[in-house]
Amino acid sequence: MSISDAQIAAMSPHERRELIRRLARVSAIDTSTRRVRRMRRRRLLVNVAAPVVLIPWIVYLATSLPDHYVAQHWATAWVGFDVLLLVMFAVTAVLGLLRRQLLLLTAFGTGLLLICDAWFDVMTASSGDRWQAVASAVFVELPVAALLMSGALRLMRASALRFWLLEPGQPLWRVPLVMGDQAGPA
């Protein structure tokens, strides 16, 4: 049996979602195996344990780190970070030109790196250079980060709407992770 484009176009949104769910079940990744469930549990455990471990670590750092510290390999650290930013921008540009879904990850990741760059630029600047670091953060790094991250989220939303994983007006955080028989709106 084959369904024509006209028949699909004539379907209601609910019927299209149901068709997508049924097709996803046929070609889905098998998430029922013990190995897959074990990997998922381990990943979730890491993501639950990390914040619990980080809280006392942050308290320890806040109370024990010196206000002033001479760092080794300072130039290498900053140049290396900027090389990473350069690579991320380049990969994001290439993926954008090729119109590939991985653009969502690289654009969002580049935005996060820019936020980190702004933070560390401002926090590590000497008092005489602080105004320049703040200006760079406010007028360059943070706006570009917002542009990249919001663009990635808009593209994710457009993809979710296009593939009927999200109702119009529904918040993006409601897009389900499409795995096995779990395809479709949550």
Q: Which residues contact 142 (CB under 8 A, 6 or more apart)?
A: 114, 115, 118
With 0-12 / 13-18 / 19 or more C-beta atoms within 10 angstroms meaning exposed / middle / buried, residue 84 is middle
Query: What per-residue confidence (pLDDT) applies to 182?
Result: 47
Q: How far is CA 60 from CA 14, 53, 56, 103, in A?
A: 53, 11, 6, 38
Alpha carbon of 15 to those of 18, 157, 160, 163: distances in Å? 5, 20, 16, 13
What's residue 181's pLDDT?
44
pLDDT for the residue 154: 92
Could you list the mean pLDDT of each consecutive 10-residue stretch along the chain, which spans 186 residues?
Answer: 87 84 65 80 94 96 91 94 98 96 96 98 93 97 98 90 76 71 42
Question: What would the two tokens of residue 28 be?
Answer: 């889905």
- The confidence score (pLDDT) of residue 19 equals 84
Give the model's pLDDT for residue 179. Answer: 58
Structural tokens at position 182: 């779990």
Q: With contact defined as beta carbons under 8 Å apart, do 11 and 19 qualify?
A: yes
Task: Supply 115's token pair.
Answer: 């936020």
- Taking each helix axis as running N to C, give the angle between helix 74-98 and helix 103-124, from 0 to 180 degrees, rounded to the nearest 10: 150
The domain limits of the chain are 5-30+66-182
Q: CB count, 10 Å around CB of 166?
A: 23
